[in-house]
Amino acid sequence: MYSFKLVFEGSGESLVRFGDSMMQLGDIGTEFKYETNHIRVWDLILSPGQCSDWHRHESLYVFIVTRPGTLKTEYEDGSTSTNQFELGEVVQGQKGALHRVTNVGDEIYSNSIVEIKKHAG
């Protein structure tokens, strides 16, 4: 079971306590693509067996599957889920989620992540 505790957050970086060690959270995708005042776009491309960084989604977001496959998601409380994603599927994620994903399929998996930035108004 994982045990995370946020110990520092600032300048877009977060440190969490993972058991007895410290861990810096990573990016939500493997490649930053685009940003406006309203959205931020990332690609996530994972080879079979490859994991994303542990990361937190600070904004509302959706992802669009660009290469189908199966992902295992590990959550901060130690729970996991495994989901099959189809080409073109659009999934709404949970703001504040702290997790990492692993491609448990036999082919490259990819999606595009669109974060919806909080706007004044």
Q: Which of 28, 49, 30 is nearest to 108 (CA)?
A: 49
For residues 67 and 86, what is the distance between their CA atoms, to the nearest angstrom? 8
The torsion angles phi and psi of 118, rounded to 5 degrees, stand at -65, 135
CB atoms within 10 A of CB 48: 14
- pLDDT category at 11 given cuts 50, 70, 90 is very low
Q: What is the pTM of this model?
A: 0.82
The neighbour count for residue 90, using CB atoms within 10 Å, is: 11
User: Domain residues of the chain, as ranges?
Assistant: 27-116
User: What's the CATH code, domain 27-116?
Assistant: 2.60.120.10
pLDDT digits (tens, 9 = 90+) for 25-55: 999 999 999 999 999 999 999 999 999 999 9
Q: Which residues pair with 39 in a beta bridge?
A: 116
Instruction: Please provide the distance, in angstroms rounded to a whole number, between the alpha carbons at the two ends of the chain.
Output: 41
